[in-house]
């Protein structure tokens, strides 16, 4: 029966039987994808790394009750999405109790730009890319969580609508609708940065 | 085809749902409508612009750090006993003390088995060790006497003296 499984699910099954090297192999194969999703979801490398580790700890702890019900990556992204959502909720909760004295990041950035020497500035193309990158980040952050998840899984992970629906626990039709609304939203936010 | 219908078909086009006929129909509208053409181009370009969201490299310590967290979690599980946790101790101290509770737990479990076996009549009663029980009961230091009788009579004698001495 295990012959028909995807290789990652086979590794996970071997891990459930006690072969810890299989877990290491799974971490090596998927750490970058999990981290990338978390980074784009949370927008911060330190948080993303912490969340990615939480994901693999959950995988490790699930070894005794793991059963193959879907592709391993589908299961992994369900855990990743839930972990990122919990992480974001925890972060938002803790940021509410932070002091209001701190200045917004934008102001710090603009002050830093003012003092920067002109000769140290990167070429114009690089500045434009950085601006676009920041705009993309901001545009994605402005999307509702489910639209953002659908975009990350579709655009960056290149998962099928069926796989995304399974991860998000909704229908394929709902995924298409989420993606369409997300694309329209992104278009509105990024129009000023795009040359048409 | 009006622009509203074209907008709906554009969504279908981006999801890869249009048939060849529908694509041709949409293309015919786009050829004559600058506004819709621009909309489609914006949608397409904004989707492509997502490529600019680069992800930094994952730190080289990721796996080591992950395995440390997993090992620490396992130690914490081992150290937790009846809801008590060796909270606040350093990792080295926790490692040194890991499994410390197994010795007293084993002792407690053994005592429980002994007591149960006496209570259920599995262990020889006072009639088999009458003199040992009497000596323990009359000794000025019962604990010392119990240990002493235990050495002479073996395990059952010691426990018998202990239990029956306590009864009196």
**Nearest chain A residue to B9, by CA:** A180
- Reading phi first (left if > 0) and then psi (alpha if -120 to 50, else beta), residue A169 is in left
Using an 8 Å CB-CB cutoff, list chain B residues near A133: 52-54
Q: What angle do CA A104, A106, A110 make, to 5 degrees?
A: 130
pLDDT value for B51: 87
Establish if A181 touches chain B: CB-CB under 8 angstroms: no
Give percent of chain B with pLDDT exceeding 90. 8
Probe site for chain A from B66, B71, B77 (most A CB atoms < 10 A): B66
Work out the pLDDT band at A102, boundaries 50, 70, 90: low
| Average pLDDT score over residue span A169-175 | 93
The answer to whether A27 and B63 are in contact (CB under 8 A) is yes
Using an 8 Å CB-CB cutoff, list chain A residues near B65: 53
Give percent of chain A with pLDDT exceeding 90. 58
**Nearest chain B residue to A132, by CA:** B52
pLDDT value for A76: 95
CA distance A165 to chain B (A): 14
Question: Is residue B81 classed exposed, middle or buried when 0-12, 13-18 and 19+ CB atoms within 10 A define those classes?
Answer: middle
Using an 8 Å CB-CB cutoff, list chain B residues near A189: 46
What integer best gives the mean pLDDT of chain A?
A: 83
More confident site: A182 or A113: A182
pLDDT reading at B11 higher than 50: yes
pLDDT reading at A31 higher than 80: yes
Establish if A156 touches chain B: CB-CB under 8 angstroms: yes
Work out the pLDDT band at A114, boundaries 50, 70, 90: very low
| Average pLDDT score over residue span A82-90 | 92
Inter-chain CB proximity A190 and B46 less than 8 Å: yes
Work out the pLDDT band at B117, boundaries 50, 70, 90: low
More confident site: B126 or B6: B6
pLDDT reading at A43 higher than 50: yes
- As beta bridge partners, residue B81 has B84
- State which of A154-168, B1-15, B47-61 shows the largest mean pLDDT: A154-168
pLDDT value for A144: 94
Using an 8 Å CB-CB cutoff, list chain A residues near B11: 180
pLDDT value for A169: 94
- Number of A:B CB contacts under 8 A? 88
| Average pLDDT score over residue span B16-24 | 83
Inter-chain CB proximity A133 and B54 less than 8 Å: yes
Work out the pLDDT band at B100, boundaries 50, 70, 90: low
Give percent of chain B with pLDDT exceeding 70. 59
Among the partner residues B52, B58, B70, nearest to A132 by beta-carbon distance: B52
Work out the pLDDT band at B131, boundaries 50, 70, 90: confident
Inter-chain CB proximity B15 and A180 less than 8 Å: yes
| Average pLDDT score over residue span B100-114 | 75
Among the partner residues A27, A36, A194, nearest to B55 by beta-carbon distance: A36
| Average pLDDT score over residue span B20-33 | 88
ipTM associated with this complex: 0.76
CA distance B62 to chain A (A): 8
pLDDT reading at A16 higher than 80: yes
Q: Is the pTM of this model over 0.80?
A: no
Inter-chain CB proximity B42 and A151 less than 8 Å: no
CA distance B66 to chain A (A): 6
- B51 contact partners, CB below 8 Å, separation of at least 6: none
| Average pLDDT score over residue span B37-42 | 88
């Amino acid at each position: 029966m295990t012959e028909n499984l995807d290789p990652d699910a086979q590794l996970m099954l071997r891990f459930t039987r006690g072969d810890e090297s299989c877990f290491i192999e799974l971490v090596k194969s998927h750490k970058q994808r999990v981290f990338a999703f978390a980074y784009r979801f949370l927008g911060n490398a330190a948080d993303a790394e912490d969340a990615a580790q939480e994901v693999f700890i959950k995988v490790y702890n699930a070894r005794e009750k793991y059963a193959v019900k879907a592709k391993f990556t589908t299961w992994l992204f369900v855990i990743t999405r839930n972990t990122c959502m919990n992480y974001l909720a925890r972060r938002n909760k803790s940021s509410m109790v932070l002091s209001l004295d701190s200045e917004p990041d934008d102001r710090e950035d603009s002050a830093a730009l003012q003092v920067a020497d002109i000769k140290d500035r990167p070429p114009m193309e690089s500045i434009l890319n950085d601006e676009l990158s920041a705009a993309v980040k901001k545009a994605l952050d402005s999307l509702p969580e489910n639209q953002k998840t659908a975009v990350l899984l579709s655009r960056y992970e290149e998962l099928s609508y069926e796989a995304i629906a399974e991860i998000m626990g909704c229908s394929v039709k709902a995924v298409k609708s989420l993606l369409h609304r997300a694309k329209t939203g992104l278009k509105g936010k990024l129009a000023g940065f795009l040359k048409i | 085809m009006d622009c509203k219908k074209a907008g709906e078909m554009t969504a279908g086009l981006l999801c890869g749902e249009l048939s060849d006929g529908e694509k041709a129909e949409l293309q015919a509208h786009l050829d004559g409508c600058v506004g819709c053409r621009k909309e489609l181009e914006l949608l397409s370009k904004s989707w492509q612009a997502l490529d600019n969201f680069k992800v930094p490299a994952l730190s080289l310590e990721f796996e080591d750090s992950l395995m440390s967290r997993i090992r620490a979690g396992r130690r914490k599980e081992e150290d937790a006993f009846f809801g008590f946790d060796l909270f606040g101790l350093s990792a080295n101290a926790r490692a040194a003390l890991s499994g410390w509770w197994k010795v007293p737990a084993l002792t407690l479990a053994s005592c429980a088995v002994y007591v149960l076996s006496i209570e259920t009549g599995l262990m020889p009663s006072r009639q088999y060790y009458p003199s040992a029980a009497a000596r323990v009961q009359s000794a000025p230091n019962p604990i010392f006497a119990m240990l002493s009788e235990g050495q002479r009579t073996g395990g059952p004698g010691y426990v018998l003296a202990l239990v029956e001495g306590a009864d009196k």
